[in-house]
């Protein structure tokens, strides 16, 4: 028997859960590995997507600060993610072309990138400082969300916001289908993730 209504999850526990989980992942190791970086980035995207969905019904001051904090976490971890992706591509290329890398064995920059995961930044203290900054941003966001009034959120408005997100995905999809440029595809990817994480 099909239900004639949609059961929505409470938003605050979901948001708090994502933020708590991201802090656990961050603290699991002194230096975040590729999986930890990926997991934290996904959790931040999920949190931001839900905040976008509920945004029209939340306190704008809090919501803007939370969105800005989570965006900052994404900016910090983007550099780490790009480094890990570059490292993986180079390792794959090295397997396919060992003779080229044999001639480049004295290249310090290349060896640094291909080295251990500890080398995520130029300055030794930079990683520790960035990790501390991420921890602070997530903790403060979690604290603010704890005091956000979310019990009055209207489910009908959430459904309308979800429909708006869906329509944005459809619009970008049509644009990509008609003119598949890299910036359009990137936008489509972002909008699709928003819809996926909100749903």
Rounded Cα–Cα distance for residues 134 and 7 (Å): 34
Geometric angle at alpha carbon 75, from 40 and 54, rounded to 5°: 70
Check whether residue 112 and residue 95 sit in a common domain.
yes
Check whether residue 144 and residue 191 sit in a common domain.
no
Sign, CA dihedral 123-125-128-130, equals: negative
Q: What's the rounded mean pLDDT across residues 103-120? A: 70
Note down the domain range covering 96. Answer: 11-153
Share of the chain above pLDDT 70, in %: 90
pLDDT at residue number 7: 61
- Read off the pLDDT of residues 24-81 as tens digits, 9 standing for 90 and up: 999 887 777 788 889 999 999 999 999 999 988 887 787 889 989 999 999 888 887 8
Check whether residue 121 and residue 25 sit in a common domain.
yes
pLDDT at residue number 94: 84
Its pTM stands at: 0.78
Check whether residue 32 and residue 107 sit in a common domain.
yes
Check whether residue 107 and residue 57 sit in a common domain.
yes
């Amino acid at each position: 028997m099909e239900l004639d209504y949609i059961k929505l999850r409470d938003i605050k526990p979901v948001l708090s859960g994502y933020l708590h989980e991201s802090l656990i992942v961050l603290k699991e190791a002194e230096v975040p590995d590729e999986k930890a970086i990926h997991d934290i980035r996904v959790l931040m995207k999920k949190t931001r997507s839900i905040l976008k969905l509920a945004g029209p019904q939340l306190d704008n001051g809090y919501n803007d600060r939370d969105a800005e904090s989570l965006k900052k976490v994404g900016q910090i971890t983007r550099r780490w993610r790009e480094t890990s992706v570059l490292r993986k591509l180079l390792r794959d290329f090295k397997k396919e072309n060992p003779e080229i890398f044999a001639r480049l064995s004295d290249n310090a920059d290349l060896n640094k990138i291909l080295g251990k995961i500890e080398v995520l930044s130029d300055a030794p203290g930079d990683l520790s400082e960035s990790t501390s900054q991420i921890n602070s941003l997530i903790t403060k966001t979690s604290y603010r969300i704890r005091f956000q009034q979310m019990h009055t959120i209207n489910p009908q408005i959430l459904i309308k916001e979800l429909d708006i997100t869906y329509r944005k995905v459809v619009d970008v999809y049509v644009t990509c289908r008609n003119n598949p440029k890299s910036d359009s595809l990137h936008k489509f990817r972002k909008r699709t993730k928003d819809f996926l994480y909100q749903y």
